[in-house]
Structure 1
Amino acid sequence: MQVALVTVGDELLAGDTANTNATWLAGELADSGVTVARVLVVPDEMAAITENVRAYSDTYDAVIVTGGLGGTPDDITMAAVAAAFDRELAVDELARADVEETLDAIAGDYPDIDVDVTAEATIPAGARPLLNRGGLSPGCVVENVYVLPGIPGEMKTMFADVADEFDGDTTARYLYTDRPEANLIDPLTDAQSQFDVRVGCYPDRDAGHNRLKVSGEDPAEVDAATEWLLVEAGASDDPDDVERVRAGEE
């Protein structure tokens, strides 16, 4: 399964807010064997959201969109996603009931809150609503596009409700070596030519080692490539081994 992530927000592009949603979602999806094929940040602009959601929906198995839900003028994600599928916006009664229930629950803490319930409960016509158990604004699923809030806590809670809809066959193993990255070019190239895997090298200056990631859809190939690299790249599957060798303990 291949998934694209579209994170919406001028604040992300300006560097005012770290894009932790994309990082967290990528990790969750990878743990489920899903390949995250694209991560895109777009501004709070109708055309940018609509065009990219439409294109990614056609290209990948699923698209997850985060951000731009709510009642402020820059919250245009629902309208943009609706436009991507040539759908009108419509009030979803299940979403409306959930918004009203949430407002009743917080009325004592926020007695002066002024929320347009109809606007909050409006999603693309025919979409499946995703109730916001961590906040107010609902998300939705339109065809293969999942629309989630941008607030990290709300996004994580809502994703938990649909997480079992994301499943893939990619498996990965991690190795560690203190060999310089330049000395790893040949063994890593050879591993990718001999086995049906992808191999990435990620230097960790603070830890004093390089982390190797071996991934693929055939667990046997991943295991074979891993065993090969343990020898040819002088690697270990335990980062502590690298520290012990460097300290002269082995």
Structure 2
Amino acid sequence: MNVAVVTVGDELLAGRTTDTNATWLCERLADRGVGVERVTTVPDRIGDIARVVNEYRAEYDAVIVTGGLGPTHDDLTMEGVAAALGRSVEEHDAALAWLEENGYARADLASGTTELPAGARALHNEAGVAPGAVLEGVYVLPGVPEEMKAMFETIADEFSGTPTYRETVVADEPESALLDRIADVRERFDITVGSYPGESVRLELTGTNEETVEEAAAWLRERVESPDGES
């Protein structure tokens, strides 16, 4: 399963808010064996949201959109997603009923709180108010991290793929000096290797067979200089 993540918000693009949602989602999806192919941030504009969602839903199995939910003037995500799918936005009876059952009087809810794309399945917000939605492989979640995380957990089982396993090998050598051994371990084992230089070089070995990844890591550790001086 391949997924794209779209985060919405002018504050993200201006650097006023750190986009922790995308990182968290990527980690959770990777844990479930799901490949994240794109992470894109768009402004609070209906046209930009609609264009990116429409493009990605044609390319990937699912699109997760976070941010811009609610009744305020800049909460335009539902309208953008609706535009991408050729739907109108209308009050969602099930979303309204759930809020009323959980102590929110209709008169207390701001206009637009429960408006979702026509035909969408409502995702109830256990940690807040504004509901999310699912329609045609597009999942719309809140931008508030606590709300987003709680809502994602209710749909996590809808995202699955081939589990991947990871081992880390730390080498106290220049990255350029490791190229031959990186090539060798790739040739010997069915894995991929990511190289991340810093004070030491961190080599991340990943694959779909746990035993193979462990064997590859053991093979490589024997052939690099470790930070503690052992090879």
* TM-score for both structures, normalised by structure 1: 0.83
Tell me, in whole angstroms, the C-alpha distance in 1 between the residues paired with 2:102 and 2:128: 8
1:169 is aligned to 162
In the alignment of these two chains, the number of paired residues is 230
Report whether the alignment pairs 1:115 with 2:106: no
Report whether the alignment pairs 1:192 with 2:186: yes
Q: Deviations over 1:109-136 (max 9, x none)?
A: xxxx95325x111111111110001000
Indicate conservation of the 8 Å contact 1:33/1:170, yes or no: yes
Aligned-pair CA distance for 1:186: 2.1
Q: Deviations over 1:47-90 (max 9, x none)?
A: 11111111111111111100010111111100111111111112
Q: What is the identity, as a one-letter code, of the residue corresponding to 2:222? A: V
* TM-score for both structures, normalised by structure 2: 0.89
Unaligned runs of 5+ in 2: none
Indicate conservation of the 8 Å contact 1:7/1:66, yes or no: yes
Report whether the alignment pairs 1:41 with 2:41: yes
Q: Which of residues 198, 202, 220 is equivalent to 2:196?
A: 202
Report whether the alignment pairs 1:5 with 2:16: no
Q: Which runs of 4+ in 1 moved over 4 A?
A: 218-221
3-state secondary structure, aligned to 1:214? strand
Report whether the alignment pairs 1:231 with 2:219: no
Aligned-pair CA distance for 1:174: 2.1
Tell me, in whole angstroms, the C-alpha distance in 2 between the residues paired with 1:141 and 1:58: 16
Q: Report the identity percentage.
A: 48
1:138 is aligned to 131
1:53 is aligned to 53
1:108 is aligned to none
Q: Deviations over 1:145-179 (max 9, x none)?
A: 11000000000110110111111214132222222
Unaligned runs of 5+ in 1: 106-112, 236-241
Aligned-pair CA distance for 1:225: 3.3
- Please say which of residues 159-168 and 94-103 is displaced more in the overlay: 94-103
Root-mean-square deviation (CA, aligned residues, Å) is 2.4
